[in-house]
Amino acid sequence: MAKTTTLKPWERVTDPNSFSALVALWESNYALLERLIPDLRKVPSGAVSRGDANCPLHLHSVHHERYTATFILTHRFPDKGEVPRLKVRVFFDAKAAQALDVEKGDFGENLYLQIQRNAMLNKWLDWCLEQGHGFWIRKDAA
């Protein structure tokens, strides 16, 4: 059976290289992250999801505050290292998740580069969910 493709809100934006497209990507990234990490406010550090395809997904918490959290998501391959490796900043109140460069991540960088990086995060998160990945916090660990 053929897989049907449903356009995400960010894919329906009139100008895909606009700030509104970037904001739509942030919102879509947040929704995907909520599926991958059901309790985003309690991101576990050093967690590993095995998924269905035996391609471990690693999650490392960088910092956590009341309204934001920053963490790194990566696959680790013995022969290729960490690919991809993305730093992600989550804004709880805005329900947005921004893919940051590992070295820099300010709002002043090129809009087109931000859109590319966030679109990549969006597609990667979707793929990770399709592979059965997820980070759930055990009730006895809370």
- Tens of pLDDT, residue by residue over 65-78, are 999 999 999 888 77
49 with 135: CB under 8 angstroms? Answer: yes
pLDDT at residue 101 above 80? no
CA distances to 16, 61, 86, 90, 104 from 112, rounded to whole Å, are 9, 27, 17, 20, 15
pLDDT for 78 equals 76
pLDDT at residue 62 above 50? yes
pLDDT for 103 equals 47
pLDDT at residue 35 above 80? yes
